[in-house]
Amino acid sequence: MNLHDTKQPADTGFDPLNMLNYRIEKLPKRDKSSVEKWLAVAGPFLAIFAFMLLAFVLQVPFLHDIDPSTIVSQSVRKIFDKIGPEAFSRNNQMMLAIFVAGLVLWMTEAIPNYLTSLILIVSLVLTRVLPEKEAYAQLGHPVMWLNIMSFVLASMLVATGLAKRFALWIILRFGKNASRIFISFIFVNLVLSAFISATTAKAAILLPIFMVIASIFGARGGKNRNNFGRSIVLQNLLNINLGAGAFVTGSGANLLAAALIGGAIGGQVFFSDWLTAMFPVMVILMFIGYWMAMRVFFPLAPEERLPQIEGGIERLKQEYNQLGKLKGLEVKAIVIFLLILGFWATDRLHGISATAVAFVGAIVALLPRIGIVKWNEVDIPWHLMLFSAGAYTLGAGFDATDLPSIGVNAFFNHLGIGDQTHFWVVYLLLTGVMVFSALLFQSKTMRTMIFVPIAIGVANRFGFSVISLALPVAFMIEHVYVLPFNSKPAALLYETDQYNLSDTFRFGITMMTIAWIVNIFAGETWFRYIGITPQGVFGIF
């Protein structure tokens, strides 16, 4: 059915076709449930209790009976030899206590996440797990700078109207019916993900567009929910995250994982490496998500395939026409982004890091008279930067204490698992824990800091290639779309009130499980073909 067909006029009063009504600051704030309120009140007390228990009361066995052979890091082993096992285990115990307390604060949202990060940073200093210089220096981590520069570039897209122009053009050009609208958003998400390393920024750009389309098809939220509204919001939530997983620059967590793996192998995980491995996988998952939403979870009734508001598509055309002809600043933005993407994709040839490339692009964009955007137009969420800095500082604490490797070895020793364990058993375990950990953790950065070093430690223990385990684990970072607290875009889109917890959980947990299965299959086929996993590890083909 053509989108120009109509069914009923729009309601008076609130204009559902006005994109300004769907700006982030205008979304209604969802009231916390009684459980969430209780957790927010209890969070500080639970965090303090956990810290005191682990730091001063309990004697964690594997921290006080450390075998020097389980210490992977040579620098940590030197510290162990110098200060002795007693002092070293004390540092480890403090690190564990701070980590668990921080995790409690993050999960209960008792205080703002950035404030939790600041507390973690100073706690690592006061307990002498990290020296001040190293703890505070994490704000200057290369990934932090890439995030900052990416927000400059994303602001350039928004300020020039290029992102809105592109999204509207795709929808109007190819979204000829309800089904094709959803496919159009797949391509929009993939293109934006190549240039924007912040999933929240992508959600903010796309939210007004797909909310207007949802209104055209009668989805007004709350009591007026329908399957079109559920599907368009949840599919976009899925694709915002899957699109980020297709590129190493898709999120700061991806880049952090690449940096951790590069440090472990004494080399580099290139943009082209990640793109080759994950772009086809994520595209496949996007289309699986489309099929599952349209055929299984939220099939559209015949009336839901018809526009419900007269002149709805014409309103989108008006929005597009108001942008006028392609402006000189937009052409500049296109050129800058194509050059940036070109340098990122060819990093194996020239060796220039993604951060350095983004730096140059942001400088050009900000240059007076020559550039595109002014500093006052740049929207950098510094609270997210501080939050990330705290996560990176925890990572530095893990590195300083070698806690993940020591814990992994103690765990396997306790279970009596020998060094002859088959690769596929470890592969299934690590990738499964990584993907389903997203149900509990709010921060992709935090999951990366925990599980990528664990994968590196397991690979070292069993004599497997670090790449063969750590990279597939890193590929599972972006599956954070099941529950509202799993990621910032999930929390943001939940405020649209187009779906309930049951909708997002059923669809999200199914797609998360499918993603894990696809990752396992890719480990035997595609990853094996491109040299990530060793030949014949599963013995299936």
Output phi, psi for 309, to 5 deg. Answer: -120, 125
Highest mean pLDDT among 333-347, 391-405, 437-451: 333-347
254 or 488, which is more confident? 254
Would you say residue 368 has pLDDT above 80? yes
188 pLDDT tier (thresholds 50, 70, 90): confident
Across the strands, what pairs with 221? Answer: 224
What percent of the chain shows pLDDT beyond 90? 15
Would you say residue 34 has pLDDT above 50? yes
At 242 the pLDDT is 94
Domain chopping of the chain, boundaries: 19-31+141-529, 32-137
Would you say residue 537 has pLDDT above 50? no
Range from 53-57, 402-406, 498-502 carrying the lowest mean pLDDT: 402-406
At 199 the pLDDT is 80
What percent of the chain shows pLDDT beyond 70? 81
* 383 Cβ contact list (under 8 Å, min separation 6): 112, 113, 114
At 472 the pLDDT is 94
316 or 439, which is more confident? 439
Range from 51-55, 74-78, 251-255, 431-435 carrying the lowest mean pLDDT: 74-78
Output phi, psi for 224, to 5 deg. Answer: -100, 25
> Mean of the pLDDT values across residues 235-253?
89
Would you say residue 470 has pLDDT above 80? yes
The span from the CA of 181 to the CA of 164, in Å, is: 16
Rounded to the nearest integer, the mean pLDDT of the chain is 78
The span from the CA of 291 to the CA of 123, in Å, is: 48
**Residue 495, class by beta-carbon neighbours within 10 Å (0-12 exposed, 13-18 middle, 19+ buried)?**
middle
Would you say residue 541 has pLDDT above 50? no
At 81 the pLDDT is 53
Would you say residue 200 has pLDDT above 80? no
At 286 the pLDDT is 95
**Residue 149, class by beta-carbon neighbours within 10 Å (0-12 exposed, 13-18 middle, 19+ buried)?**
buried
Would you say residue 4 has pLDDT above 70? no
173 or 46, which is more confident? 46
Q: Cβ distance 140 to 393 under 8 Å?
A: no
> Mean of the pLDDT values across residues 454-477?
87
Q: What is the DSSP letter of 42?
A: H
* 479 Cβ contact list (under 8 Å, min separation 6): 241, 245, 435, 438, 511, 512, 515
Is the Cα torsion angle 54, 81, 130, 389 positive or negative in sign?
Answer: negative
Quote the pTM value: 0.75
> Mean of the pLDDT values across residues 500-504?
86
At 64 the pLDDT is 56
450 or 510, which is more confident? 510
> Mean of the pLDDT values across residues 419-430?
80
Number of helices (H), then strands (E), in the chain: 24, 0
At 401 the pLDDT is 76
pLDDT digits (tens, 9 = 90+) for 290-316: 999 999 898 887 877 766 666 666 767
Highest mean pLDDT among 219-223, 337-341, 376-380: 337-341
At 6 the pLDDT is 45
217 or 464, which is more confident? 464
The per-residue DSSP string of 245-306 comes to: HTSGGG-HHHHHHHHHHHHHHTS---HHHHHHHHHHHHHHHHHHHHHIIIIIISPPPGGGGS
At 32 the pLDDT is 63
The span from the CA of 338 to the CA of 335, in Å, is: 5
At 245 the pLDDT is 92
At 25 the pLDDT is 52
Would you say residue 175 has pLDDT above 70? no
* 463 Cβ contact list (under 8 Å, min separation 6): 419
Pick the closest to residue 248 from 477, 436, 522, 508 (CA basis): 477
The span from the CA of 469 to the CA of 526, in Å, is: 15
Q: Cβ distance 252 to 488 under 8 Å?
A: no
At 11 the pLDDT is 46
pLDDT digits (tens, 9 = 90+) for 48-104: 998 898 888 877 665 655 555 555 555 555 555 555 555 557 777 888 888 888 878
8 pLDDT tier (thresholds 50, 70, 90): very low
Would you say residue 9 has pLDDT above 80? no
Would you say residue 28 has pLDDT above 70? no
> Mean of the pLDDT values across residues 344-373?
82
CA 465 to chain centre: 25
At 490 the pLDDT is 83
At 354 the pLDDT is 78
pLDDT digits (tens, 9 = 90+) for 511-532: 999 999 999 999 989 999 998 9
